[in-house]
Amino acid sequence: MTGDLLGRRKSALAPSYRLFYDDPIEIVRGAGVFLYDADGREYLDCYNNVASVGHSHPRVVEALTKQASTLNTHTRYLHHSVIDLAERLAVKLGGDLSSAIFVCTGSEANDLAVRIARTVTGHNGVVVNDHAYHGNSTLVDQLSLANHPPGERVPDWIGVAEPPNTYRGTHAGDDAGTAYAEDVRRAGQQLSDSGEGVAAFLVDSTWDANGFLNAPVDYLSLATRHVHDLGGLVIADEVQAGYCRTGETWWGFEDYGIVPDIVTLGKPMGAGHPIAAVITTPEIAASFAKADSYFNTFGGNPVSCEVALAVLDVIEDEQLLDNVDRTGAILRQGLDQLSRTHDMIGTIHGKGLFWGVELVTNPETKEPVPESQVNAIVSDLCDRGILTGINGPHCNIIKIRPPLVFGEAHAVRALDALDGSLGSFARQGGTRADQ
């Protein structure tokens, strides 16, 4: 059956499609933190942030069904759902971030946010961190250096700032925040000098595509000051960082004590349903609306909005932010423990329910474990019923980013499997247990 599907898939889908794991799995059912394959085998999902409140959450399904049975249309008729959702998010975001535009994907949100920043500032240039990922539209694909081979020419309107990586980057120690922020200033100044100007600094405060970075705490506030001095806006790409992912706070930017000018939301917002948003201040929203128009056919439809409202309800009613903190502490402790017993672990990046386990061949030289071997480990974890992913510019970071309902028992099971898998690979010199 799976073999048959593989063949049909190869014929029907473009070869751009990729499958996870050496032996791809056919997933047919999901519930909470578990996924099940066609043979009924259970997998602990340590990867999928999109199913934010857990797979197939009954309250989300109920909201979806109820609204889809009643009405699904666009925002050019009045409807309370889109207003309710915008109001709820404005309260969650706080400050002046209270003017919303709903779209369908994080890519659409970032594309629109950059367009708003360009329109409002009159500048064209955008600063991003190297190896960031911000989406797949033509515009944000260009801004996502993670999508492009190293050395590929970057368009003149993009300024590239070094990611704030205190493990592997140029700077570490007390002044690292100042030094990395200075690189944002340098990249912005270069755009100003070349005449592009700085429309925005677009930043994901998990630095997901770098494998999660724990940036120096003062990095974003210093960088924000530089960007504002250059006449640009700060766009917080909360597609990864938002919705309690990093614990303690609802939004990643709060961890760094900044108030962005524009916020973009995506993946976890609809627990799998395609909804995303751009939220900014009334002043910026008004300035954009004066100069340009925007309409998104599906964006803000009542079904998507009722789903997004149900996700907010579940996070609040099930106190998932507290759960992230509780389970996050267990993962932190467990991963720290593993890093002491496995030489292969160079460092642990992460916070809350987003962790990156960086694998190196030698802790001194920090030489990355080759991708083929990381892939074998991640495939071995899959064989052990644990779903993770691969991340980072060197493809040497195991990505652990489960649904927000991931609890203590799940964390212990994941840590045990990781311990077993890393131990087995160390003993066998990098071959998969079953090979």
Q: Six-digit token pair at 432?
A: 């998969």
Phi then psi for 28, rounded to 5 degrees? -120, -15
Q: Which is nearer to its own copies, 56 or 192 (CB)?
A: 56
Q: Which is nearer to its own copies, 276 or 415 (CB)?
A: 276
Compute the least distance from the CB of residue 405 to its own copies, in Å. Answer: 15
128 touching its own copies, by CB under 8 A: no
72 touching its own copies, by CB under 8 A: yes
Phi then psi for 61, rounded to 5 degrees? -60, -40
242 touching its own copies, by CB under 8 A: no
Q: Which is nearer to its own copies, 314 or 335 (CB)?
A: 314
Compute the least distance from the CB of residue 72 to its own copies, in Å. Answer: 4
Q: Which of residues 1-40 bind its own copies (CB under 8 A)?
A: 2, 5-6, 8-9, 11-20, 24-30, 35
Long-range (24+ apart) CB contacts under 8 A made by 430-435 are: 430/373, 430/376, 431/376, 432/22, 432/376, 432/379, 432/380, 432/383, 433/380, 433/383, 434/380, 434/383
Q: Which is nearer to its own copies, 55 or 123 (CB)?
A: 55
Q: For residue 147, what is the DSSP state? A: G
Alpha-carbon gap, residue 121 to 283, rounded angstroms: 12
Compute the least distance from the CB of residue 236 to its own copies, in Å. Answer: 17
106 touching its own copies, by CB under 8 A: yes
Number of residues near its own copies (by CB under 8 A): 94
435 touching its own copies, by CB under 8 A: no
Alpha-carbon gap, residue 296 to 82, rounded angstroms: 13
Stretch that binds its own copies, among 78-86, 174-182, 393-401, 408-416 (CB under 8 A): 78-86
Q: Which of residues 269-308 bind its own copies (CB under 8 A)?
A: 271-275, 278, 280, 285-286, 288-289, 292-298, 300-301, 303-304
371 touching its own copies, by CB under 8 A: no
Compute the least distance from the CB of residue 86 to its own copies, in Å. Answer: 4
Q: Six-digit token pair at 193?
A: 């000098």
Q: What residue ranges in 298-391 does DSSP mark as E strands?
A: 345-351, 354-359, 386-387, 389-391
Compute the least distance from the CB of residue 430 to its own copies, in Å. Answer: 24
Alpha-carbon gap, residue 431 to 372, rounded angstroms: 10
Alpha-carbon gap, residue 233 to 280, rounded angstroms: 11
Compute the least distance from the CB of residue 99 to its own copies, in Å. Answer: 5
Q: For residue 260, what is the DSSP state? A: -
360 touching its own copies, by CB under 8 A: no
Residue from the set 46, 54, 99, 252 that interacts with its own copies by CB under 8 A: 99
95 touching its own copies, by CB under 8 A: no
Q: Which is nearer to its own copies, 69 or 365 (CB)?
A: 69
Q: Which of residues 180-199 bind its own copies (CB under 8 A)?
A: none
**Positive or negative: CA dihedral 256, 258, 264, 268:** positive
Sheet holding 34-37, edge to edge: 34-37, 42-45, 386-387
Q: Which of residues 248-267 bind its own copies (CB under 8 A)?
A: 266-267
Q: Which is nearer to its own copies, 123 or 171 (CB)?
A: 123
Alpha-carbon gap, residue 359 to 296, rounded angstroms: 43
Q: Characterize the bridge pairing of strands 276-280 and 262-265.
A: antiparallel
48 contact partners, CB below 8 Å, separation of at least 6: 55, 387, 401, 402, 403
Residue closest to 267 by CA, chosen among 243, 298, 301: 243
Compute the least distance from the CB of residue 391 to its own copies, in Å. Answer: 14
Q: Which is nearer to its own copies, 77 or 434 (CB)?
A: 77
Q: Which is nearer to its own copies, 215 or 236 (CB)?
A: 236
Calculate the alpha carbon distances from 421 to 48, 381, 382, 398, 413 in Å: 20, 6, 10, 12, 12
String marking each residue 134-173 x if it binds its own copies according to CB under 8 A: --xxxx-x-----x--------------------------
Residue 152, number of CB atoms within 10 A of its CB:
8
Q: Which of residues 210-239 bind its own copies (CB under 8 A)?
A: none
String marking each residue 303-342 x if it binds its own copies according to CB under 8 A: xx--------------------------------------
Task: Please identify which residue in the block is written with the tokens 């499958």.
Answer: 19
Compute the least distance from the CB of residue 81 to its own copies, in Å. Answer: 10
Q: Is the Cβ–Cβ distance between 198 and 191 less than 8 Å?
A: yes
Stretch that binds its own copies, among 92-100, 348-356, 414-422, 424-432 (CB under 8 A): 92-100
Compute the least distance from the CB of residue 275 to its own copies, in Å. Answer: 8
